[in-house]
Each structure stands twice: as structure tokens, then as C-alpha cells.
Chain A
Amino acid sequence: MSIRVQMPADSSEATRADGDAVVMKAVSMASMPRTRLAARDRRQVLRRLQLSDRGFHVITQLAAAAVLVILGGVILSLVLGSLPAIREFGFSFLTSQSWNPVTDKFGALPAIYGTVITSVLAMIIAIPVGIGIAIFLTELCPPSLRRPIGIAIELLAGIPSIIYGIWGLFILAPFLQQFVEPALIAMFGPIPVLSRLFAGPPYGIGIFTASFILAIMVLPFITAISRDVFETVPPVLKEAAFGIGCTTWEVVRKVVIPYTRLGVIGGIMLGLGRALGETMAVTFVIGNAHKISGSLLAPGTTISATIANEFTEAVGDVYTSALIELGLILFVITFIVLAVSRLMLMRVQRRAGAS
């Protein structure tokens, strides 16, 4: 998985390679006798080049069109597949909490709630940690440690999600159940609002565990991209700041982060996209209960976990269709997140341009 942002160093290398090619072409042209390059030949060659260029143009255009066709096909099949459920439940599908395969009554609210809450919690945990690692790597880390930590982060991104799921179920969940969750319950018990957030028996699996696993999974995205954009900050700016007596914290807060805001937000959105759609790891540790519960320690479910769990043995049109409609809803949520991130990026860009 490559999640590196292109560096200025790469582009200078590319220019050099181009330069070499031009020199070589010039040499081969010179070795040809000038007289044999009649005007007609030249026109022919030009036409051939033009033709091949047009061919290239068409091929790339087709490739671009294929993306649109695939996307259109996905939307179309999702909408067609969910029509029976839409006809049966209408808008109440989005507001109903019941999920009953026996009576064929389905509502998506618990799954939507679970999807959003686990992703948001995961981001709350992962953003500070991810950006912290990136700052340490670029600003404070001794050079000998930089590579090992960087490689470790990238390896984290390469672990398949099923492995996270199994690790979560067999190792993380029992650990949380025995040590972390009882401590949380005891600690927040006397505090009014928080006591409700951390109530109930410590199962070890539930919304909190799922969010924790998701945070680990999105961490490499946020870290790797933040690190790469932090490295693009011109040393002159940082040195100037240090020169007038800024502390490292002040340099990071006043120079590095403002300079790289765009890239960091991009990395966060990429992580959020992964968290929303993550299936296997969540399925293992979320508890898969179609319920909305006030407590973070209680079991819940997400859209993708529900689909993965129930699709194979779903018998009957309405049941299958309800699951497909869940997929459609996830598609819409992801679309909204992407659109919002675009809007945010555009606003940040405009503000940066104005100042």
C-alpha cells in the first residue's frame, strides 16, 4: 500500500530524466542525413504521430469513462436491489429501530448510529495520536529511529483487517474486559453524564472495543500522510521561527500545522473513509446487537457488519433487499463525508489564498 505524497525531490529527478531523453533524441536526429528528410516524409511522420496521439487520447478517455460506468452501475444496482425494501418501509426504514427477520420488519437506525459513532470515536482517538507520531518523526526523532518507526507505521497499514478482528477478539477484548472496562466503569461511575456513557456489564466487546480497533487501523493513514506533508515545510520557515526564539511546540503549532493543514485534513478524511466501511474487524468485536444503547460499553452493530453477517443466510426478498438498502445508505454516508471534506478543503484553500 503506497500512501506517500510526492516530494519535491522526486520532481527534480523527473526533470533530469526528461533532459537525458531530449539529448539522446537530438543525437540520433543529427546522425541522419538531412537531405533524406523530404517535406512529404515529414508530413507523413507528423500525421502518424498525430494519429497515435489521438489513439492515446481515446484510450485514456475510455479508461476515465470506465470509472463513471462502474460507479453508475454500482449506484443503479444498489437502487434497484433496494426497491422492494424502499416500497415496503419507505422513510421509516431510516428511523425504525427494529430489525426482525421473523416478521420481516426492518429498520436501519441502530446500524447507522453504530457506523457513525464508532467512526467518530475512532477518529477522536486516532487523530491526536497520529499527528503526534508524525510530529515526533519529522521534528524530534533522532535520525536512527526515524526509519524503523516509519516502516512500522507502514506495516500497520498493510495488515489485513481480518487479522485485526481476530486479534481484537482473542487478545484485546479479554484484556479490555478484565482491566480497562471495570476501571472505566468505576472511574466514571460518580460523574453524572459520563456514568451513563460507561455503564453496564463489561463484556469486552462492544462499541468501545470496535472504535479502539478502528483507531489502530486508521492510525497509519493519518500518520503517514501527516509525516509526508510535514516534511514539505520549507526549512527556512522553521529556522526563522526558531531564530526568533520559538519553542518546538510553537514552531509546530504556528508554522508546521498551518502550512500543511490541507494535507493533514486529507489524511484524516482518508482514515474516516476507511473507518466507515471497515467490516471484518468490526464484526468480530462490536457485539452485533441491533440496538441503540446509551453506553459505549454495550454491544451495537454497523452497516457493513450487518451486511457481512446476514447476507449469506438471508432468505426472502424483503430481507435481502433491506440489506442492500443498508449498502445504499452506507454509500450515501461515504459520499456525504467526501463532499464535506472537499468543501472544507476548498474553504481552507480560499482562506489561505486570501491571507
Chain B
Amino acid sequence: MNKTILRAALVVAAAASASVAVRAADTSGAGATFPYPIYAKWADAYKKETGNGLNYQSIGSGGGIKQIKARTVVFGATDAPLKPEELQKDELVQWPMVMGGIVPVINLDGVSPGDLALDGATLAKIFMGTVKTWDDAAIKALNPNAKLPSSAIAVVHRSDGSGTTFNFTNYLAKVSPDWKSNVGENTAVEWPVGIGAKGNEGVANNVANTKGSIGYVEYAYAKQNKLTYTKMKNHDGKVVSPTSPAFQAAAANADWTNAPGFYQILTDQPGAESWPITAATFILMPKQPKDPAAAKEALKFFDWAFTKGGKMAEELDYISMPENVVSLIKKEWADDIHDATGKPLM
């Protein structure tokens, strides 16, 4: 009897120490909250397949950048890419990992998803507070057949700093000089009008509850909450619906080869099919990692995610990077990430 207890205790202890050992080998990353669900799902599947774990802390892009600069994690993640000069200064490599689409959502009686079309200039005017009512001439001109009420537009924006806001304001700044000079682009801005709601779910909920409102959310939230999204007129002047192929078209048509450090914000990209407010989220790694073994593990994980993670990303309404971009990323890994002797890790 005693022996069995002892044996059981030993087994438990061994299992515990083994799990500690595995956890110690986990690759650690920190940063953006937007890609957290897909990174977590990939990490889970990857661990089942290879036994190697990944520990990703979604502390926000700002925190991710700080931590990778201090080299306390193996990789950092950010929604707003670092400029090439900054990458140079801190000896970091950057690439896009996965994408998402940002869609304007509205709440208007009698208007169904995709009924209304907007363009960038009008969207900027609405969020500036210069277009105040739904029957404004600018909206009517884009939707000659729609029945629009004369009610006021209630603007809903994010209250927390976020990559979604960064990409959304980046788009508005690209298409509206007024927005660029008066508001600008950042993870948080000084909003001229409207109420702030916390997180995508907060914006989605406020729009769902407020008649006459407009907000912007990640595509997944618009889809899951069955919100009324609008179509958008893109860079080429074509009206497009927010769909996976439209997001992918924006990434495929972007000029990645001439973008050092993959500094490319996917808003307002050319192409007849491209959705104008597409966003990528980025990974940051040191050019010469302190712990080459851990860095190699991380790169293997990312490689696996590019090859096998597409379907999982789709299930969570993320968009995987197009093939041509993935091969460019792998080339960058080979060219730029070295161990102390200068040998490439991948």
C-alpha cells in the first residue's frame, strides 16, 4: 500500500519536473492583442504536432516593441510596423504574419449588410463631424437608390489604443488631406466627434444598440455580431464588399519588394478587387538573437504557421499572407537572421 503511494508520488513528481522542463523550452513572445487568438490557436496545434510550446503574452503592441528592444522575449509582435530606420537602429527584422480586414459598420433601419457604399473621403468627413446626417449629399451621391433618413450620425470609435485604430486612421489620412492635417494617424487619436468604446466588442455593441450610429471593427466582429457592414470604394474606384479574397487582393497587390523591413501598411492599396482598409500584424525579431536555439524554434513555428496555419486562420476570420509574400519573408529570414558566427538560422 505504502509502496503504491510512493510510486504514484514519484510518477507525479517526474511528470511535474518534465512539464517544467518543457515549459522552460517554450518560445516566448509578447505584443499585439489583435492576433492573440490565432497565435494561441497555432501554438496549441503546433504543440500537439511537435511537442514544442509557444508562450505568447498579449500585452499590447507598445509593450511588445519595448520588450523586444530590451531582448527579454524571443519575438515581439506589433500592429503598427516599425519604420526601417528604427529597425536598423535596434537591429531588428520585421515581417507581416497574418492579416485582418477592418470594416465600417452602421445601424440604420431598413438598411441591410452591404446595401450602403461609402468612399474614403466621405468616411473621413463622417468621423470629422462635417457630414452630420445620413441624408447628406455626399452619402446620397454614392447611394442614389438608397432611402436615407435625415437622422443624426452617431460616431463610435475605440477608446483604447489599438492597431485597428492605427490602420483605420492611416487609411483616412491617406485619402483625406483634412484628416491628415487635423487628426493624423496613431493607435489612439484626438477624435473630433463621437463616443469611445473599449475593444472591438465594445464598438460592435454600441453600434448594435444605437440607432443611426457608425463605427469600425475587425471583420470577424462584424460577421459574428451580424452587424450591417458597408461596401467601400477602393483606390481604383471600384466598389467592393469585405470578403477574404478582397483582403488578400490588397496584400497581393501591395508592393512588398520595394518595402524595406516589410514596412507596408495595407490600407488604400491598388487593384480592382482590393478592400481598402486591410491590416497586417507584424513580428519583430533581433538580427542576431541572444539565444539562437530559441530563435530557431520560433522561426520553425512561424514557418509551420505559414505552411499549415491557413485553415485555422480562416476559421477565426483572419486572412493568411499570400504565397508571393511568404516566399519574400522566408528570403528575409535567410538573409538577415544570423547566429554569432554569421550563419543563417533558417
Residues of A at under 8 Å CB distance from B? 98-103, 169-170, 173-174, 177, 201, 203-206, 283-284, 287-290, 299, 301, 305, 309-310, 312-315, 320
Contacts and interface: CB of A to CB of B under 8 A. Distances in A.
A320 B187 CA distance: 13
Contact of A288 (B33, B187, B195, B209): B195
Given A309-B159, A313-B161, A205 B190 contact: no
Nearest to B205: A169
A206 B22 CA distance: 49
Given A313-B161, A313-B188, A299 B202 contact: no
Given A102-B184, A204-B209, A309 B202 contact: no
Given A201-B154, A312-B63, A315-B62, A101 B161 contact: yes
Contacts of B62: 312-315, 320
Given A102-B183, A309-B161, A289 B196 contact: yes
Contacts of B33: 312
Given A309-B196, A312-B62, A315-B61, 20 more contacts: A101-B161, A101-B188, A101-B190, A102-B184, A102-B185, A103-B184, A174-B209, A201-B154, A283-B198, A288-B159, A305-B159, A309-B159, A309-B198, A310-B188, A312-B60, A313-B61, A313-B163, A314-B62, A315-B65, A315-B80
Contacts of A201: 152, 154
Most B Cβ at <10 Å: residue of A101, A102, A169: A102
Contacts of B63: 312
Given A201-B152, A287-B196, A310-B160, A100 B210 contact: no
B52 interface: no
Contacts of A288: 159, 195-198
A91 B268 CA distance: 41
B59 interface: yes
B191 interface: yes
B210 A204 contact: yes
B197 to A, nearest CB: 7
The secondary-structure label for the interface of chain B is loop
B162 interface: yes
B155 to A, nearest CB: 10
Contact of A177 (B160, B183, B185, B210): B210
A309 B160 contact: yes
B126 to A, nearest CB: 15
Nearest to B189: A102
Contacts of A204: 209-210
The secondary-structure label for the interface of chain A is loop
B196 A313 contact: no
19 contacts: A102-B184, A102-B189, A102-B190, A204-B209, A205-B195, A206-B195, A284-B198, A288-B159, A288-B196, A288-B198, A290-B190, A301-B159, A310-B161, A313-B60, A313-B161, A314-B62, A315-B62, A315-B65, A315-B187
Contact of A101 (B159, B189, B197): B189
B122 interface: no
Interface in B199-249: 202, 205-206, 209-210
A309 to B, nearest CB: 4
Most A Cβ at <10 Å: residue of B59, B65, B205: B205
For chain B, the bracket of interface size reads: 20 to 34
> Which 8 pairs of residues, A with B, have the shortest CB-CB distance?
A313-B161, A288-B196, A312-B60, A288-B159, A102-B184, A100-B190, A287-B195, A299-B195
B161 A314 contact: yes
A203 B160 contact: no
B194 interface: yes
Nearest to B80: A315
A312 B188 CA distance: 11
B176 interface: no
Given A203-B195, A205-B195, A283 B159 contact: yes
A212 B227 CA distance: 29
Contacts of B80: 315
Interface string B42-64: 00000000000000000111110
B189 A169 contact: no
Contacts of A314: 62, 161, 187-188
Interface in B267-317: none
Contacts of A170: 205
Contacts of B205: 169-170
Nearest to B160: A309
Nearest to A102: B184
B67 interface: no
A20 to B, nearest CB: 42
A312 B160 contact: yes
B113 to A, nearest CB: 22
A177 B195 CA distance: 14
A169 B208 CA distance: 12
Interface in B59-106: 59-63, 65, 80
Nearest to B82: A315
Interface string B136-161: 00000000000000001010000111
B187 A205 contact: no
B253 interface: no
Contacts of B197: 288
B137 to A, nearest CB: 22
B207 to A, nearest CB: 12
Contacts of A100: 184, 189-190
B186 A101 contact: yes
Given A288-B195, A313-B61, A315-B61, A205 B161 contact: no
A204 B154 CA distance: 12
Most A Cβ at <10 Å: residue of B61, B160, B189: B160
Nearest to A174: B209
Nearest to B79: A313
A313 B66 CA distance: 11
B154 A313 contact: no
A51 B155 CA distance: 70
